[in-house]
Every structure is written in structure tokens, then in C-alpha cells.
Amino acid sequence: MNDRRLRASGRLRCALGGLLLAPLTVPLVALVLGSMAPDTQAADGFPNRPLRMVVPFPPGGGFDAVARPYAEKLSSLLKQNVLVDNRAGAGGNIGTAEVARAPHDGYTILFANEILATNPNMYANVPFDPIKDFEPISMIATTPLVLAIYPGLAARNLSELITLSAREPITFGTPGVGTSPHLFGELLNLKTPLKMRHVPYRGSGPAISDALGGQTNAVLTSASSLTQQIAGGRLRGIAILSEKRSPLLPDVPALAEGGIAGLTHDIWYVTMAPAGTPPAVVAELREASMAAMRDPELTARLRRLGFEPVVGDDKAVSALIRKDLQRWKDVVAQSNIPRE
């Protein structure tokens, strides 16, 4: 009798449990599926309002020369305005950190360059992590670095400049401490017979002006900033710091032609979204961005300004950032450059 009561009681509990659990099953499944929906369907209807593209430097200069025509083309492809928002300060840290903290919905993106690799090595408390805080969208463009000298300096080529620097280090101006021109100049000091003493400026313009006037022996900055001065003979192009000569300055030899092989660097530009942006949204942005960089009108326009358009996906961006993070970390450590 007791056994029968126990079995009956057990059957009753199972039945009651089934009744209690059954109503919860459908909402629970719906909740689980609903939590998955943003990743798989977030691009539906995206974008349905204007996007903000943060440029972490003031208007004008190399950044805007690339960012604004790119934004125009991206607007036409996405069928929504892409508004350029210059958020300058702290060497690019302010605007970059603002995007890192922005809602990860795809409506705020970052137009960045090498500060993603240089600033973490130059600032003790950089307010962003270039790997953890962003989702790479795509490559945009590159421009080579150029070493140019004051024409009154007694050197016609890299070999003569090396000989001259052995007697007394030449002074070279750059857009500022911790920029890639500065760090590449220190790399040349570490790895080659060329000996140079850094003179930092606030931007390429003042650095070029002092080289034109002979206040410094040389300037190291982007080719896009030096084309007119070198073509007009006001500065002497000593070396393009790329693997080969640039169509922008075809008479300036590559660094390897002067006997220094294996050291190259191009300034690069990329776009990033805040970490956590739904993959489908990032994919939508990436597709449009890469299509923009294939557009003949945009690529021709950028080449006239001294930039080489690049079609590269998120993997290319990640590889570039990781490579340069390590490269500049080594240069800063070996050159004993103080962090800010």
C-alpha cells in the first residue's frame, strides 16, 4: 500500500512539474533566440540615419585630405550622410577614446592612423586599447615617409649624408614627439650608420618651414606633405622610406637604393568601430568601405593628393596594428624615449 502511494505521489509530482514548466518553455526559448537576434539581424535596415566619423585631429592636413573624400563616397554607398567630426587633442587620444566609449551600434566610427600603434607606446596612461576597444573595419590608404634636406647642405645623396652625419649628427624635424616620422628616424639611428638629432614640431608645416629656411638640416614626414617643395627644388629629396620609388616623387630613390635594405615604413589610415558592434553591422560597413576604395574617382583623387588607396579587410588592419605596436615598442625602449 505504501509503495503504491509513493508511486502515485511521484506521478502526481511529475504531472504538476510538467504543468508548471510547460508555460515557461516558450518564453524561455524566445528569450534565448531574442538574445541571438542582434548579431544575426542587426544589419537589417542599417543604416537608417546619418553616421558620425570621428577624425581625432584638427581640420586640414593629411587626415582630412583622405577622410573627407572617403566620407563622401561612403555616404553615397550607404545612402546616408557620413559626417566628419574633428575631435582633436592629446595627440589624437581624445577623439580615439571617445569612439572607444561610443555606443557600439555602427553609427559612430573612427578614422584613424598610426596613433593606434604609436600612442600606446608613448603615453603612460593611454585612454584606449587599440586591440580590445575596437573592431577593425578596413584599410583606407597609405603614404610613404620621405627624408628631405635643406639644399644648402653639402650632401647630394644618402651616402654623402651618412658621411656628413658621422662628423656631426644632422638635425631632423618631424611633426612631433612619438609620431611615426620621429620613431622611424630613431630606428634609422639604431640600425644604420646615419646619425640624426631629433627636433620636434607641432605638425608637418612648421617642421617643413624650418628645413626650408635652414634652421634644421632635414625634415622627415609624409610624401604628401613634401611633394611641392621637393618638385620645386626648395628641398632635396634624399630617400623614400618605402620598398620602391613613389610615383608621387619618381626622382627620389628608395632607401634600399642608398644601401639601407630591410627598413621601410608607410603612414597608414584605417577605419574602426567600437568593440561590441554587431558583426553584421561591421560587415555592412566593411563592404561599403572596401567598395569605396575600389572606386576609380576616389582612388584617382587620393593619388593626386599623394596617397595610395588600399583595399584591405579587418585581418589586414589587425595585422598592421599588431606589427607596429611591437615595432615602436622596441624602438622606444632601445632609444630611451621618455613616455608622456
Is there a domain that residue 319 lies in? yes
Q: What is the model's pLDDT at position 6? A: 38
Is there a domain that residue 316 lies in? yes
Q: What is the model's pLDDT at position 278? A: 98
The domain boundary, picked from 258, 291, 320, lies at 258
Residues 245 and 219 in one domain: yes
Q: Which residues, at least 6 apart from 76, have a Cβ–Cβ distance to it below 8 Å? A: none
Q: Are 293 and 85 in contact (CB under 8 A)?
A: no
Q: Report how far residue 235's alpha carbon sits from residue 303's, in angstroms, rounded to the nearest whole number.
A: 21
Identify the band that residue 13 occupies on the pLDDT scale cut at 50, 70 and 90: very low
Residues 236 and 308 in one domain: no
Residues 276 and 322 in one domain: yes
Residues 123 and 179 in one domain: no
Q: What is the model's pLDDT at position 172? A: 98
Query: What are the cell numbers at 29?
Result: 526559448
Over residues 158-184, the mean pLDDT reads 96
Q: What is the model's pLDDT at position 60? A: 81
The domain boundary, picked from 201, 232, 258, lies at 258
Percent of the chain whose pLDDT exceeds 90: 80
Answer yes or no: is pLDDT of 16 > 50: no
Residues 148 and 204 in one domain: yes
* Residue 64 phi, psi (nearest 5): -65, -30
Domain enclosing residue 123, as ranges: 51-141+268-335
DSSP at 246: B
Answer yes or no: is pLDDT of 25 > 90: no
Q: Which residue has the higher pLDDT, 281 or 41?
A: 281
Over residues 288-307, the mean pLDDT reads 96
pTM of the predicted protein model: 0.85
Is there a domain that residue 20 lies in? no
Average pLDDT value for the chain: 89
Answer yes or no: is pLDDT of 107 > 80: yes
Residues 168 and 135 in one domain: no
Answer yes or no: is pLDDT of 14 > 60: no
Residues 214 and 166 in one domain: yes
The domain boundary, picked from 258, 279, 294, lies at 258
Q: Are 217 and 150 in contact (CB under 8 A)?
A: yes
Over residues 113-129, the mean pLDDT reads 96
Q: What is the dihedral of CA 80, 81, 87, 88, to 10 degrees?
A: 120
Residues 136 and 149 in one domain: no
Is there a domain that residue 70 lies in? yes
Q: Are 255 and 240 in contact (CB under 8 A)?
A: yes
Is there a domain that residue 309 lies in? yes
Over residues 252-275, the mean pLDDT reads 94
Query: What are the start-end ranges of the H helices in the chain?
Result: 2-41, 61-78, 93-100, 115-122, 158-167, 180-191, 204-213, 223-231, 279-292, 296-304, 314-335
Answer yes or no: is pLDDT of 122 > 70: yes
Answer yes or no: is pLDDT of 42 > 90: no
Query: What are the cell numbers at 8?
Result: 502515485
pLDDT tens column, 50-99: 999 999 999 987 889 999 999 999 999 999 999 999 999 999 999 999 99
Is there a domain that residue 182 lies in? yes
Q: What is the model's pLDDT at position 160? A: 97
Indicate the range of 26-30, 84-88, 271-275 predicted with least confidence: 26-30
Residues 250 and 153 in one domain: yes
Answer yes or no: is pLDDT of 26 > 90: no
Cα of first residue to Cα of last residue in the chain, in angstroms, is 85
Residues 171 and 243 in one domain: yes
Q: How many residues does the chain have?
A: 340
102: nearest Cα among 273, 271, 270: 273
Is there a domain that residue 178 lies in? yes
Residues 155 and 134 in one domain: no
- ω into 47 cis (within 30 of 0): yes
CB atoms within 10 A of CB 93: 20
Q: Are 119 and 152 in contact (CB under 8 A)?
A: no
Is there a domain that residue 25 lies in? no
pLDDT tens column, 207-234: 999 999 999 999 999 998 999 999 999 9
CATH number of residue 213's parent domain: 3.40.190.10
Q: Count the domains in the chain.
A: 2
Q: What is the model's pLDDT at position 41? A: 47
CATH number of residue 286's parent domain: 3.40.190.150
Residues 237 and 252 in one domain: yes
